[in-house]
Chain A
Amino acid sequence: KNEVEQSPQNLTAQEGEFITINCSYSVGISALHWLQQHPGGGIVSLFMLSSGKKKHGRLIATINIQEKHSSLHITASHPRDSAVYICAAHINTGNQFYFGTGTSLTVIP
């Protein structure tokens, strides 16, 4: 069993819909990362959080440390949001990363 589980694996949404991607982890973490990988292959770091909530534009990330769960929300989704979203649990000790398998999001106009 992977230390980090994401759901759903695949998600198709209509433009404008509110989207939620979930991430659960089983290890004690220093931080939880959300990454975005576009069809071209490049990876961009969206958020790094260890508590509470962060917001960048239409993207919101939340984390519940007690429940070992994080969510990535996209408001007013747009076709350019189509990408694979990956969560990763980071442990400072040993500088270890455990990655989820990714959620492939397609937003249809």
Chain B
Amino acid sequence: DTAVSQTPKYLVTQMGNDKSIKCEQNLGHDTMYWYKQDSKKFLKIMFSYNNKELIINETVPNRFSPKSPDKAHLNLHINSLELGDSAVYFCASTSFEGTSYNEQFFGPGTRLTVL
């Protein structure tokens, strides 16, 4: 049973297209994240989301938007794709207990290539 799953695993598309990456977790977690890992392997948080609050990293272009149909899903929509969007995108989830967050579980990643 996969805890955090992402689809697709690979995505190759042309500049200017709109695409989505899906993420689902079956852990009952209340908080989900999207991360971007660039070609230098540097991880950066893009969004964190729970059922109450969306927190956006201010450096993320507004072409990127997270959409959560329910607590178990956080999809990433990207409009007007650019070459610089090529990266590996990771979804992760965790739970918040008491006053702090617990450890995160990561999805396998989606490698996006924009041509």
Contacts and interface: CB of A to CB of B under 8 A. Distances in A.
Nearest to A92: B100
Interface in B22-66: 31, 33, 40-45, 48, 55
Contact of A99 (B44, B100, B104): B44
- Range for the number of chain B residues in contact with chain A: 20 to 34
Contacts, number: 54
A39 to B, nearest CB: 11
Please classify the interface of chain A as helix (H, G, I), strand (E, B), loop, or mixed, using the class held by over half of its residues: strand
Given A95-B55, A97-B45, A101-B42, A31 B100 contact: yes
Nearest to A88: B43
Interface in A2-41: 30-31, 33, 35, 37, 41
A62 to B, nearest CB: 17
Interface residues of A, number: 25
Interface of B: 31, 33, 40-45, 48, 55, 88, 90, 92, 99-106, 108-109, 111
